[in-house]
Every structure is written in structure tokens, then in C-alpha cells.
Homo-oligomer: A and B are copies of this chain.
Amino acid sequence: MSAHTKSVAIFDTTLRDGMQGLEINYSLEDKLSIAKKLDEIGIDYIEGGFPLSNDKEAAFFNHCKSMSFSHAKIASFGSTRKPGGKAESDGHIRALLEAQTPVVVIVGKTWMAHVEKVLGTTAKENLAMIADSISFLKREGREVVFDLEHFFDGYKDHRDYALEVLKTASHAGADVLVPCDTNGGTLPHEVSAIYEDLKSQSLAPLGGHFHNDCGTAVANSLAAVQGGAVHIQGTINGWGERCGNANLCAIMPNLTLKMGYHAACADHMEKLTSLSRFVAEKANIIPDKRQPYVGIASFSHKAGQHADVILKAAHLMEHLDGSLVGNHRQVLLSELAGKSTIVEKMKKYGSFEKNHPAVETLIRTLKDKENDGYEYEAAEGSFDLLMRQALGEYKQLIELKNYHLESYKTANAQSKTVGRMFLSDQGREVMGAAVCIGPVETLDGSLRDALSPHYPFLDGLRLTDYRVRVLNPESASAAKVRVFITSTNGDEEWTTVGVNENIVEASWEALVDSYEYYYNNHYEELPPEAR
């Protein structure tokens, strides 16, 4: 609607409040790689965690010191000092300083009932804790974000005290005051009315932090911005405690692409879909297909009348061009959309018309494979091999005759797996064997044992990622699984896919594709005896 120049800072708490979500647990490596992606999309603040809580959290801040972020500021999170103490000698506050982040988030109590019943202190001491903690951190040169825990419940219960907390934090020098709807029970019309009331107070700039317990966290965030907030907190995919935090994957495009607000992320919204899926992959949670903007169904159209209109005039059937958020239209059951994508991909091997037999073959193969559970969006390596096969340009490296794995487990001892494998190598039968712990490692060992003598390039290849997803969990132990394997030669990286009811076999498929991909794409560089 109306364009204006008001700016909003986007504050991501995927790595802190988001970690409170059910089944959410990021490793240190996950957290670091997510932080890089958040920076790339133009997130203004990345809240990395609670340095006092455990070593993993502290290690994150340590690693961040040596990383370069192009735009984002890293923030550590902690609470106000303890009742009766001093900020400079408080363990929580010290841990925040030691995290050495330019930004520090301090959370304080705003709801009188919490001050008395949970914190077990007085209204006055709570104000002193807030003032002391903020002003100490300001003296230490930090940018201070003050999170007002349970602000909305506190305001409804005891408005005067909630306002006093705001004023105290403002006077103590907080750079931004963030009313938090910690229990998630606030509705948009309440948010609007409360921010309207706050306008008349003379305070530091306001932010907003919402949870989705009423299904309105995104709308609450927009209402806060319209009510004057200049800083919005949320998480990627909206994952967080209980029903989650406000979903930045909806807030960012709503604010920048629809409402005309300015934010650093506005220039990178085409990375949104890929960011959403990256975080889902790290969380090992199947992304919500129906998620606004970034879900795979968000721009899908069922065949028939709607799809027809899409071809005539897409803007009549879509609220937004999906490519603006890095998503794409899916016309289900329509081959036309698919073919242009295929032709685009095949450009690597030349210029093909949509009705070229290789295009037709590839469309059919893809359809069959996708029905079987394969997915090529994240497995470009395997897709490359399918293209080569359709074009008759595929060179086989690994021709399996058979493999045999034996896993032994004796009580209280680590299991071991023995593998033997026969392959045909240009007519010769070659054999490999290995003893490892798990079956996948054993297959890889046996394969290398068989082929490395003739194909020394295998020694330079390394697997860097291995991911498993169960496709039909309801079939339990007989379920079909999809395995992705990412490999590298130290320079390039490629991902391949395998699907089977047997997880070992699915892994084998992805493993074979990984080596075949390298072999086919580096054939010309190989010494003649390794071709």
C-alpha cells in the first residue's frame, strides 16, 4: 500500500528463544551456519543464546568473534542482576560481558505478579535491578536491548507498574524497549490499543516480541510496527516455545514487499525461501508445506480453471510473484511449467527445445522418481546424472555385482560390520572388503578398497554431510527412507540422493551417485588409466 520511509530493525531469535521449541536442538556448527545465513539475508540483530547456560552457548560467542558478518550485529541474552546484588559482580551480567558481543539483551520482569511470586522480590527492587543492569552495561559500551517479559499481561493487570518499568529502562539508557507477549495470549486489537497508549509516554524507541498461541503473532507484529515499534523480534519459520515465535518469514515480506517499510532485508527477500529451508534442514524438521511465502504449496495451483487463469494473467490468481521471495509457482499436473525448468537446467549440455526427446525422457524419469520419493532440488549431483543418462552422455564407474554385509553385536560391546563387495570394472571382477562400525561406513570402505587401486582420485573425495529422512513414518521399521549425501574434492561440493525401504541401500545409492558425479564431471582431467 502506501510507501513510506519508516525503518524497522529485524531481530532474529531463532538461536535463543527459538531453541525453546519442541524438538529444536541446533549443534554449535548448526548455529554458526544459521548465523551466516541470517547475516546474508540482511537480518539486523542475531541473538545467539544465553552465555551462562552451558558451554555450547558460550562457544558460539567465542566463534563469532573470529567470523565476519557483513551487516548483522550479534547479541547475547541474559536476565537482570539478582535481587539485592550489584550488576558488576552478578554472574549473569558478567557472562554477558564475557561473551563480548556489541549488543546485549537484558530481560526483566514487568508483571507485578511475576515480580512478587516468581522473583520473590519487591516492585521497587525489581526496578533497581533493571536500572542497575542496563546502566552498567551501557557504561561498558554495549548497545542494550531491554526485553520486557510478560509486558502485555502485566499491562492489563497493573498498567502503572508496566509503564514504570518502561520508564525506568528508558532512563537507564536502554537503546530499545521490547514489550514481550511471553505467554502469547494477546490479540492484534489489544496490541494496537496498548501501543497507542505508549505513544504519549516519552520513551526510548519501542520494539515488539510476540508468540503465536492465538495464531496472530505475525499480525501482532505488524500492529506493533503500525503502532510505532521500530524493532521486531521473531524466528525463522516461526519455531519457538509452545506454538512458536512470530514468523520472520512472513513478517519480513509483509513489511517490506507489501507495506512499504524499509529494512536491510528488503534487498534480499529472494533468499527467503532458501533460508527457511536451510533452517528446517538444520533443525531436521520437515518444513511446513503450507507456510506463507516460503512453503512449497504457497504458489501452487491445482490443474483446471485456476491453472488456466495463471497462464492468462498470473497476477489475477497470486497475491505476489513468488520469485520475489525465492519461491516458485507450481502448476500441479501441468507439464508446461516443468519443461521450461528442465530446458533451463539442460543448458549446461546445450540448447534444447521443449519437445526434444531428451527433455521428454527426463520429464518422465523425474515424475517416476519423484513418485518414488526422490527429490532433486537439494540433490543437483544426482540430477546431473539423470540429465547425462537422458542425453546418452553417462559414463558408468561403479557396476555392482553384489555386496554382503554382516553386523555382529554382542551384549555390552560396540557392534561391528564386515563388508565384502564385488564390482565389475570394465570387464574385470574386482573385490573389496572393510570392517567398520555401521553399515554405511562399511559399504564406503569396501567400495574404496575395491576401486582405489585403479581410481586413485577416490582418495581425494570426502563425504561432508549425511542426512536421513523417513518418508512414510507411519510404516515404522519398514518405512522408506531418503538419504542425502554431500561430498567434496576440497574444492567443489555436490549432493546426491538415494531412496529405499532399506536405509543401507538408500545410502549406497547416494554414495554411488556421489562418486559417479565426480567421475563424469572430471573425466577429461583423469589420467588415461583411471578413465
Contacts and interface: CB of A to CB of B under 8 A. Distances in A.
Contacts of A117: 309, 312-313, 316
A6 interface: no
Contact of A216 (B222, B244, B308, B318): B222
Interface stretch (A136-144, A349-357, A383-391, A472-480): A472-480
A483 to B, nearest CB: 9
A198 interface: no
Nearest to A296: B22
Nearest to A247: B215
Q: Main secondary structure on chain A at its contact with chain B?
A: mixed
A25 interface: yes
Given A319-B183, A439-B504, A406 B406 contact: yes
Interface stretch (A36-44, A84-92, A96-104, A408-416): A408-416
A468 B481 contact: yes
A258 B187 contact: yes
A352 B21 CA distance: 28
B222 A502 contact: no
A243 B183 CA distance: 25
Contacts of A212: 290, 292
A185 B319 contact: yes
A463 to B, nearest CB: 3
A242 B300 contact: yes
B470 A468 contact: yes
A487 B465 CA distance: 29
Contact of A187 (B254, B408, B475): B254
Given A243-B295, A476-B463, A504-B439, A254 B21 contact: no
Contacts of A467: 470, 473
A476 B470 contact: no
Given A213-B319, A214-B319, A292-B213, A478 B22 contact: no
Contacts of A113: 313, 316
A164 to B, nearest CB: 19
B377 A438 contact: no
Given A214-B254, A303-B20, A415-B505, A437 B478 contact: yes
A496 interface: no
A46 interface: no
Nearest to A216: B219
B406 A402 contact: no
24 contacts: A20-B303, A21-B297, A27-B471, A29-B474, A53-B336, A183-B318, A185-B258, A185-B319, A213-B293, A214-B218, A215-B218, A216-B219, A216-B254, A219-B220, A244-B290, A403-B407, A438-B477, A438-B500, A440-B477, A440-B503, A462-B476, A463-B476, A468-B470, A468-B503
Interface of A: 1, 20-23, 25, 27, 29, 53-54, 111, 113-114, 117-118, 150, 183-190, 212-216, 218-220, 222-223, 226, 238-239, 241-244, 247, 250-251, 254, 258-259, 284, 286, 288-293, 295-303, 308-309, 312-313, 316-320, 332, 334-336, 375, 377-378, 399-411, 414-415, 417, 436-441, 443-444, 462-479, 481, 485, 500-505, 507-508, 511
